[in-house]
């Protein structure tokens, strides 16, 4: 069983990076096109792809339409998770063919039970409208508790906001504010093998409440590593990448970091110098 996690696509708005004195423009849509091709062409093709939030830059219907068109070429089942840049109703309206999305207006959390006999996927919703930070809430935590109690099959859990302190102050101020409640559930449910998050646009890995916690790099563009309170974050020229969760009953879970393109789609937009 192989599950690919792509994160933080931010479709709809290009990003400019100062690189070696040049202004470089990154086009997330062109990069996603490359990612779709890379996933389709993997020697061992994933059984599923989870897109873990910030799917669109501003959560508009138009941006989701572009996203929908780009992933239409993906030949692998795709599961969507919302992030702080997303909008539940716009996402649901464009992806009305994705029946697994929960019908509740304020949640897109769901379980995927029928992908394989071995692994269950559980995707959580940490989106808080008009906020960059994330929250799970009592209702969702109760639902997760009941869902985990229903089966001892191994689980991969996905959510946009990391419930840990990453050591990057800018992102730690907008993490998942009730993540420790989730930690208690993880501790009492050892069938949860790993938690896959996004949001930070960097590859980060930690042991957390007895499970591995992975923050996926962006499949679009990365942010600089800023571990000081004073430093802000800026987009940087690092390759778009995904995480691959490889589960075998005989071997357990192994997670690979895999570049999906050698570099993002770059365009030099440096103007004439005065």
**Cβ 99 to Fe ion shortest distance, Å:** 25
- Near Fe ion by CB under 5 A: residue from 12, 26, 54, 121: 54
Stretch that binds Fe ion, among 18-26, 53-61, 143-151, 247-255 (CB under 5 A): 53-61
What is the pattern of x (binds Fe ion, CB under 5 A) and - over residues 175-214? ------------------------x---------------
CB of 85 to Fe ion, least distance (A): 6
CA–CA gap between residue 260 and residue 267 (Å, rounded): 18
Which residue, 88 or 199, has its beta carbon nearer to Fe ion?
199
List residues bridging with 79 in a β-sheet: 50
The answer to whether residue 82 forms part of the interface with Fe ion (CB under 5 A) is: no
# chain residues binding Fe ion, by CB under 5 A: 5
- From the list 216, 151, 184, 202, the residue with the least C-alpha distance to 3 is 216
Residue among 4, 96, 68 nearest 41 (CA): 4
In the complex, what is the shortest distance from the CB of residue 12 to Fe ion, in angstroms, rounded to a whole number? 12
146, 30 Cβ separation under 8 angstroms: no
Residue 83 makes contact with Fe ion by CB under 5 A: yes
Contacting Fe ion within 8-37 (CB under 5 A): 8
Kindly tell me which of 1 and 17 has the beta carbon lying closer to Fe ion.
Answer: 17
- 119 near 50, Cβ under 8 Å? no
In 3D space, the residue among 5, 131, 111 whose CA is nearest the CA of residue 59 turns out to be: 131
Cβ 142 to Fe ion, closest distance in Å? 25
DSSP string for 154-185: -EEEE-SS-SS--S-HHHHTTSBTTHHHHHHH
Residue number, 171 or 245, with CB nearest to Fe ion: 171
Q: Would you give the DSSP letter of residue 229?
A: S
The distance of closest approach from Cβ of residue 189 to Fe ion in the complex, given in angstroms and rounded to an integer, is 26
Candidates 49-57, 136-144, 202-210, 263-271 — which segment interacts with Fe ion by CB under 5 A?
49-57
What's the chain's Rg over C-alpha atoms? 18
Bridge-based pairing of strands 204-208 and 211-215 is antiparallel
Taking alpha carbons only, the member of 133, 81, 138 closest to residue 110 is: 81
Contact positions toward Fe ion, by CB under 5 A? 8, 54, 83-84, 199
């Amino acid at each position: 069983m192989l599950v690919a996690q792509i994160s933080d696509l931010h479709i709809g708005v290009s990003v400019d990076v100062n690189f070696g004195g040049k202004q470089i423009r990154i086009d997330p849509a062109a990069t996603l096109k490359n990612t779709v091709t890379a996933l389709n062409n993997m020697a061992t093709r994933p059984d599923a792809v989870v897109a873990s939030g910030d799917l669109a830059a501003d959560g508009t219907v138009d941006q989701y339409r572009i996203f929908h068109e780009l992933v239409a070429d993906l030949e692998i089942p795709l599961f969507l998770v919302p992030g702080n840049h997303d909008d539940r109703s716009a996402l649901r309206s464009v992806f009305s063919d994705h029946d697994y999305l929960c019908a509740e207006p304020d949640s897109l959390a769901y379980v995927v039970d029928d992908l394989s006999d071995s692994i269950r996927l559980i995707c959580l919703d940490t989106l808080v409208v008009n906020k960059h930070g994330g929250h799970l809430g009592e209702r969702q935590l109760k639902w997760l508790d009941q869902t985990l109690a229903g089966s001892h099959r191994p689980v991969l859990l996905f959510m946009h906001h990391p419930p840990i302190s990453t050591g990057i102050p800018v992102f730690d101020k907008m993490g998942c504010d009730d993540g420790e409640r989730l930690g208690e559930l993880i501790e009492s449910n050892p069938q949860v093998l790993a938690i896959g998050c996004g949001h930070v646009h960097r590859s980060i890995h930690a042991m957390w409440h007895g499970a591995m916690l992975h923050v996926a790099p962006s499949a679009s563009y990365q942010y600089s590593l800023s571990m000081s309170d004073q430093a802000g974050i800026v987009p940087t020229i690092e390759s778009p990448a995904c995480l691959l969760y490889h589960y075998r009953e005989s071997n357990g879970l192994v997670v690979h970091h895999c570049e999906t393109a050698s570099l993002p789609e770059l365009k030099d937009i440096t103007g004439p110098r005065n």
